[in-house]
Structure 1
């Protein structure tokens, strides 16, 4: 099937579907200038930190508990390199689809908060959000726009304990609440699942696609390359996220989406 024909078919599917799950990864934020290798860790692909650690070791739950200064050093450096990123067309158009359907839920691995900034409300941030901090002692939460001016590692203003980003570090379990929300969305019924910009290497990211394929539900993958779910999906768009969402929107909509 020609790529243009596939885009047309997916556009019709998306127009007809009222309950859609978008699964997104770092490729969705690539057009916002963020790295695509493991999202926030992309700046350290195939190189060690100054301490001779892999980024997985430096950004592990064990390191945050034992040496928060090391974990925070690299979290802050990565955040600084990504600071100022804004939602791109992919984020904005996914949010626009949400405003016109019964349910559009976004399951994202990204911790950059750009889906929320673009207006997505039914959002499962399975790896957390780098702009939310919480105290490792009293658990009080705090929202910050960025890390400018933060003492590293930052102290909790309430109890003096160490604050940490509310993200899933290497070796840590997924947040139970986010997992429960995903299970509820799947059980409540869907018309379409669209995987965008993710290699789908994690079982909880590939799982919903595989589940939908077994159920006979339409599945779509948007990714320039091959991934763990490519051979299982019904439709493949070998495109970048922003280009694909732009094409899908304008095949069924005569104008720009309305602002939230």
Structure 2
């Protein structure tokens, strides 16, 4: 059960936890990208705030692997809307703090649900983007791959210049399995153990996002949640900062550096 402290006390204690740590895992969700102007899950162009899309199906179905295979133009229509809402976003101070921290500790990894690529853009080296990256495209038939910054460059649905087949983002659509290589990497790092695990800006509804926190708690590793809202892992963590991700991470990092 997490300790109830005011924010200043919690920030100081988290900084002290960091001072005793050499390995860190950050688990991040939409909350860390919100300060870059990206909408959270329920705010993507209002798509998730209605029961059905204008095409008469739930957005989760429109963005499923099944519909991508059968009606790619429909899936791409909504992928395009999501990308447009995210276009031009830059890493914020929260992303930058994590990138700065990696040179002060022996081992730092980020497990992110976000498909915006902002952790890597901030310079974080060890990122497991478990749901993929919206800007990395791949052919559904051949080995063609490319990176696209702006979907307005594309004719939707895009086709492979090599074989003419439909191209899709390298992301996990609804109903699809996670990338086995990324899952294997995650378990490899979890088995090495982490001194401290942060859950930042995520409701942790997916088991593979909540489980690393649960695993760390069982091993008596330090656990911290940064989230203005209660989540599926709130009851598991040692300390909780009920703050937005960016100001919380910045405050913790400044406190850590001041104490050194």
TM-score, normalised by the number of residues in structure 2: 0.94
Q: Which residue of 2 aligns with 1:46?
A: 49
Alignment of 1:201-220 (within 5 A): 201-220=205-224
SS at match of 2:97: helix
Q: Which residue of 1 aligns with 2:141?
A: 137
The Cα of 1:139 is off from its aligned counterpart by 3.5
Instruction: Give me the whole-angstrom Cα distance separating, in 1, the residues matched to 2:155 and 2:23.
Output: 44
Instruction: Give me the whole-angstrom Cα distance separating, in 2, the residues matched to 1:113 and 1:38.
Output: 19
Contact 1:112 1:129 in 2 (8 A): yes
Q: Which moved further from structure 2: 134-143 or 202-211?
A: 134-143
Contact 2:42 2:49 in 1 (8 A): no
Q: Which residue of 2 aligns with 1:222?
A: 226
- Kindly indicate whether residue 168 of structure 2 is the aligned counterpart of residue 168 of structure 1: no
Shift in CA distance, 22/8, structure 1 to aligned 2, threshold 3 Å: same
The Cα of 1:140 is off from its aligned counterpart by 2.0
Q: Which moved further from structure 2: 42-51 or 240-249?
A: 42-51
Q: Which residue of 2 aligns with 1:155?
A: 159
SS at match of 1:22: strand
The Cα of 1:158 is off from its aligned counterpart by 1.2
Shift in CA distance, 185/169, structure 1 to aligned 2, threshold 3 Å: same
Instruction: Give me the whole-angstrom Cα distance separating, in 2, the residues matched to 1:228 and 1:210.
Output: 10
Instruction: Give me the whole-angstrom Cα distance separating, in 2, the residues matched to 1:116 and 1:94.
Output: 11
SS at match of 2:158: coil
Instruction: Give me the whole-angstrom Cα distance separating, in 2, the residues matched to 1:204 and 1:43.
Output: 26
Q: Which residue of 2 aligns with 1:248?
A: 252
Once the two structures are superposed, what CA deviation does each residue of 1:203-255 show, in whole Å capped at 9, x if it has no partner? 0000000001111111000000100000111110101000101101111225x
Q: Which residue of 2 aligns with 1:118?
A: 122
Contact 1:92 1:118 in 2 (8 A): yes
Instruction: Give me the whole-angstrom Cα distance separating, in 2, the residues matched to 1:144 and 1:2.
Output: 44
Q: CA RMSD in A?
A: 1.3
Instruction: Give me the whole-angstrom Cα distance separating, in 2, the residues matched to 1:51 and 1:83.
Output: 24
SS at match of 1:231: helix
Segments of structure 1 that go 5 or more residues without pairing to the other structure are 255-260
Q: Which residue of 2 aligns with 1:183?
A: 187
Q: Which residue of 2 aligns with 1:199?
A: 203
Once the two structures are superposed, what CA deviation does each residue of 1:172-194 show, in whole Å capped at 9, x if it has no partner? 00000110010011111211100
Contact 2:137 2:167 in 1 (8 A): yes
TM-score, normalised by the number of residues in structure 1: 0.94
Contact 2:18 2:256 in 1 (8 A): no
Contact 1:26 1:38 in 2 (8 A): no
Instruction: Give me the whole-angstrom Cα distance separating, in 1, the residues matched to 2:257 and 2:218.
Output: 31
